[in-house]
Amino acid sequence: FFRLGHIPGAFNLPLKTFDTEVHSFLQYLEEARSSGKKVVIYCADKDCPDSLTTARKLARLGYSTSVYRGGWKEWRSAGL
């Protein structure tokens, strides 16, 4: 799904590999936190629950995130 398109600047961390791959992203999360950037989680579309679950998992690790509920489908439809 990520190779077919994604929001600029996005990283791909699928929920199914979150527990084994999150360590690879901690540097980027720390950089975002220290520079005051917001971490936004999104999924394919508004019906995908994975973004909410990922946000909860990151919150348990101490990271503040927001969820873009419309997902990639809404972003692409808006021509952004």
CATH 3.90.198.10 is the classification of domain 2-77: no
Give residue 11's pLDDT: 87
- Compute and round to an integer the Cα radius of gyration of the chain: 12
d(CA 70, CA 59): 20
Domain positions in the chain are 2-77
For residue 48, report the phi and psi dihedrals to the nearest 5 degrees.
-90, 120
Distance of CA 8 to the CA centre of its chain: 12
Give residue 18's pLDDT: 93
Residue pLDDT, tens place only, 8-27: 888 888 899 999 999 999 99
